[in-house]
Amino acid sequence: MADQTIMMSRPPRDEEKKLMLRIQQYSRDHDWIERNRSELLEKYPDKYIAVSKQSVRYSADSMKEIVEKIVEANESIGDFVIDFISTKKISLLF
């Protein structure tokens, strides 16, 4: 997924720049998980993972446990993409 450009009628404010950078990083991390899902499945079967800057920083058996690890490390949950790496195939019906 290519980075998208947002057109604005005025220069973005500092907080808007920070938000745009966080959104772009979230998108890159999410895409990284999808591209590497098979390798992640080998290393983290049926585990939650917390990814930041295209790297698995934490893994745990439950969402509660992974959030606790992030908070205990004095990090912001918003800086991570948290995903469950399931060994079960999921079929979506539309």
Predicted confidence band of residue 11 (pLDDT cuts 50, 70, 90): low
The answer to whether residue 67 is domain-embedded is yes
Residues 20-27, mean pLDDT to the nearest whole number: 92
Domain extent for 32 = 14-85
The answer to whether residue 78 is domain-embedded is yes
The SS3 of residue 56 is strand
User: What confidence tens digit (pLDDT) does each residue in 57-70 have?
Assistant: 999 999 999 999 99
The answer to whether residue 39 is domain-embedded is yes
The answer to whether residue 23 is domain-embedded is yes
Dihedral (Cα; 17, 20, 26, 30), 10-degree rounding: -150
The answer to whether residue 91 is domain-embedded is no
Number of domains in the chain: 1
The answer to whether residue 20 is domain-embedded is yes
Evaluate if residue 2 carries a pLDDT over 90: no
The answer to whether residue 3 is domain-embedded is no
Q: Whole-angstrom Cα distance, residue 56 to residue 78?
A: 15
Q: Give the global pTM.
A: 0.78
pLDDT for the residue numbered 8: 59
The answer to whether residue 4 is domain-embedded is no
Which region holds residue 20: left if phi is over 0, alpha if psi is between -120 and 50, else beta? Answer: alpha
